[in-house]
């Protein structure tokens, strides 16, 4: 099992969700985060006082999938999240040791 963690632009979230559904990914965890890579922040001005805000709002999607599905899921996310402009985000793949379905106690890939 692997966790696929993707940091994307917030307005692409709906596309990514729909795309993942179409490759039979059943669930995901979504969090609102802030961060930056190469994308510059923005400037705010209050009564002449300037503030440079470096941290840009992003969305982090986490899905845990069986090993053989990883490449397909990564590709799906990347295609749906891409705009071609700086700040599109990144995807990371992390090994997962165990998964448990709380309601039934199932373990392993059956819990996904």
Partner 1 sequence: MKRKLAGWILMVFAFTAGAGLVFGQDKPAPALAAAVEPPKPAAPAPTASPATPAAPAPPKVDTGDTAWMLTSAALVLLMTPGLALFYGGMVRAKNVLGTIMHSFIIIAVISLQWVLFGYSLAFGPDRGGIIGSLSWIGLSGVGLDPNPDYGATVPHQVFMIYQAMFAIITPALITGAIAERMKFKTFLVFTVLWATLVYDPLAHWVWGVGGWIRNLGALDFAGGTVVHISSGISALAAAIWVGRRRGFRTEPMAPHNLPMTITGAAILWFGWFGFNAGSAIASGKLAASAFVVTHLAAAAAALSWVLVEWLYKGKPTTLGAASGAVAGLVAITPASGFVGPMPALIIGAVAGGLCYAGVIGKNRLGYDDSLDVVGVHGVGGTWGAVATGLFASKAINDAGADGLFFGNPGLLGIQVIAVLSTWVYAFVVTLILLKILDWTMGLRVSEEDEENGLDLSQHSETGYNY
Task: Tell me which residues touch partner 1 (CB under 8 A).
Answer: 44-49, 51
Helix (H), strand (E) at residue 37: none
Q: How far is the CB of 32 from partner 1 (least distance, A)?
A: 14
Residue number with CB closer to partner 1 (55 or 94): 55
Q: How far is the CB of 46 from partner 1 (least distance, A)?
A: 6
For residue 61, give the nearest of 100, 13, 23 by alpha carbon: 13
The percent helix, strand, coil of the chain (3-state, each to 5) is 30, 40, 35
Residue number with CB closer to partner 1 (49 or 86): 49
Residue number with CB closer to partner 1 (44 or 75): 44
Q: How far is the CB of 73 from partner 1 (least distance, A)?
A: 34
C-alpha span between 40 and 18 (Å, rounded): 29
């Amino acid at each position: 099992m692997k966790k696929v963690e993707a940091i994307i632009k917030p307005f692409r979230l709906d596309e990514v969700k729909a795309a993942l559904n179409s490759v039979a990914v059943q669930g995901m965890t979504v969090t609102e985060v802030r961060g930056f890579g190469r994308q510059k922040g923005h400037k705010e001005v209050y009564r002449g006082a300037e503030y440079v805000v470096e941290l840009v709002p992003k969305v982090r999607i986490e899905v845990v999938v069986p090993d053989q599905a990883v490449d397909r899921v990564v590709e799906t996310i990347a295609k749906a999240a891409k705009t071609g402009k700086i700040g599109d985000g990144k995807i990371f793949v992390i090994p997962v040791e165990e998964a448990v379905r709380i309601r039934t106690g199932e373990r392993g890939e059956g819990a996904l």
